[in-house]
Every structure is written in C-alpha cells, then in structure tokens.
Amino acid sequence: MKENRIYNFNAGPAALPLCVLEEIQDSFLNFRGSGMSVTELSHRSKWFDDIINDAVDRTRRILNLGDKFHVLFIQGGASLQFAMVPMNLLHAGQSADYINTGTWSQNAIKEARLLGKSIKVAASSEDKDFTYIPKNFSFTPDARYAHLTSNNTIKGTQWASFPDAGNIPLVADMSSDIFSKPMDMKPFGLIYAGAQKNLGIAGVCMVIIRKDLLENIPATLPSMLKYSTYASSNSMYNTPPCFAIYATQLVLKWLEETVGGLDKMAELNRKKAQTLYRVIDSGGFYRGTAEADSRSRMNVTFRLPNETLESLFVKEALKNGMEGLTGHRSVGGCRASIYNPTTVQAVEGLADFMKTFASANG
C-alpha cells in the first residue's frame, strides 16, 4: 500500500494513519473471520457491538471522561450539530452565548437564530477578519451555554486555552482539533466533532454530552434530533454509519496504543507546527495569516508574495508528492492541514520544499 502514496495536507477528508488503512484493508473482505466485509456486518451483531463499545471505551479513557458523559455517534456532521445543540439545550425564554471566530462559528449562530433562539455574541474577532482568538468576553450570567469553535480551519486560528465562563457550560465544535492535545472536560457540557479531519472518515460526528444536559430535552423534537435517543440506544436507534465508526475506532486505537495518548500527540503536533511556522517566519517570502499567539497547530495558513506564485507553489508541490495545499476557496492563499495522522516526515518534507521554492522564486 505504501507505493504511490503522497503527503496529504487536505483539510478534510484528510490523512489517516497508514496502519489504520492497512487494518481496514486486511478486514475489508473478511472481518475477524466472520466471512463478511466489515461493511457488511449487521449493526445488531456482536462484531459491531465490539467495535462501537471499544470506540466509546477508548474515548472515555483518552479524555478521562468518568461517568458524567455520554459518547454518541450521529450522522449529519458538525453542521447538523449547529442546529441540534440549540434544539436540545435551549428552551423558551432561555438564551445562549456564542463566540464568533469565523465561518463555522457564524454558521452555528445562523442555525440557532433560524430556529428562533435567543443568541448573544459574547466576543468576536471579526474586527480583524478573524485573524485572532478573542481574549475579552462578556458572558450573560444566566446563559444556558457558551458556544465556541476550538480550531478555525479557514483562518488558521486555534484556542490555546478556553475561556472561563463560570458556571455556564461550554459547548465546543472540535471538529478539527479533537484529541490533538490534553484537555480538561470539567468546563464542558458538550463537544462535537465531525470525524473526517482528525478522527476518522466522513460520515459520522462524535458528540460527547454531559448526562445532566439530557434531563430537559423537549419531548416534541423528532426522535432522530434528540440526544436522548442516541444516549438510550448506544447510538443504534437506527442503522448507524457503521464503517465510519469502525474507522474512528481504529484511529482511537492508534492514538492510544501506537502514539501513546494525548500528551505524546500534543508533543508531535507542536513539533510539526513549529517546523512550518519557522519557515514561514524566516526570509519574508511567506506570510502567516493568523496572529502569532492565535496560530493553529492543525491548519497552517499562509500567503506568498502574489497569487501567481501561490498557484505555482501548489502545482509544484503536487509534482513533488504533496497534495491539498490550496487555501479555502473563501480566502485563497495556501494552507497545510497537519492533523494528528500527518507524520513528522510529511511536514519536514513540506518544510524542505518551501525553502527550495522560496530560494528559486524569491
């Protein structure tokens, strides 16, 4: 399988660990002696029970969740959660605070307001085109929750530490940096993450919700839009996205057993990001787009002297075995997404290419 593989810097769907791909390959036609592909297993079978339960157990261990949280697997990606969160947690007469740090935060705010919910923007970095993470917040004392996006893939910013909202539970879209570093779950009531960036393949969203937040979910919500439906059925009220959950389980296994947990993962991610930012900050050819203290360790965004050179950079990178370096269509420029599975070797290869390209075109 290693032949003809390139360095994958796509923002999502993104790179997977090679060992995960190889295990999927080995089990694709005959999963654990079942005589069936993993894609053919019944979700009511013991084989799939073992898969989903292991994914939940590993998530609990890696994040030290204890018994206060449910781990759920829901279809619809993070975008569905923009609506499910306020539908489930915000009742008549209640309001929630949102921190606006870019496109995905804006989409979450939009969906909540489409539902007629009372939303207050407690902080925003829109004044500087979302190039930084806010440091000053104005939380509403009786807010039901405070929502944030932990890593902003388009603008390349990331929360280094989370805000203190007092007794207000934090709700976070962690699609692009979940499991990238240790975190304290105590301030959080709910986190959610589309798997296709840092956790697995497209098709499933992991939701981790504090159990007490399930107590007042409106009875009038459709069954498939209630968190309680998934919590009471181990995410198998209907046929779940079995293959996507299987891929997530293997990535969690890799993170726990091969990498060695979140401390080790954070160390690798720090090294990868520093390798690229050092190149960006040297020589003046490249320019980072995020303020230094808000830079993402997952999505490194940068510009070259002009768009012609940016286009050439992306084309030459592909010729040299590096894919996915075009910036988001809404902002242009270049972006290297270096999620957990992206290897140090891949990042060092990109850094060397960037130096060579700058020397040839500077």
**How far is residue 193's CA from residue 207's CA, in Å, rounded to a whole number?**
7
User: DSSP 3-state assignment of 41?
Assistant: coil
List 197, 226, 254, 272, catalytic entry: 197
184 tagged catalytic? no
Our CA angle for 84, 220, 188, nearest 5°, is 35
List 97, 117, 159, 173, catalytic entry: 173
User: DSSP 3-state assignment of 47?
Assistant: helix
| 73, containing H or E segment | strand 69-74
**How far is residue 126's CA from residue 208's CA, in Å, rounded to a whole number?**
29
Q: What Å distances lie between residue 78 and 65, 101, 191, 198, 240, CA to CA?
A: 21, 16, 10, 13, 16
List 97, 104, 159, 226, catalytic entry: 104
197 tagged catalytic? yes
254 tagged catalytic? no
Our CA angle for 154, 249, 298, nearest 5°, is 20
CB 73, CB 235: distance < 8 Å: yes
343 C-beta neighbours (distance < 10 Å), count: 16
Q: Which tokens hold the place of 207? A: 């939701």
User: DSSP 3-state assignment of 75?
Assistant: coil
| 250, containing H or E segment | helix 242-253
Peptide bond into 13 cis (omega under 30): yes
Which active-site residues does the annotation give? 104, 173, 197
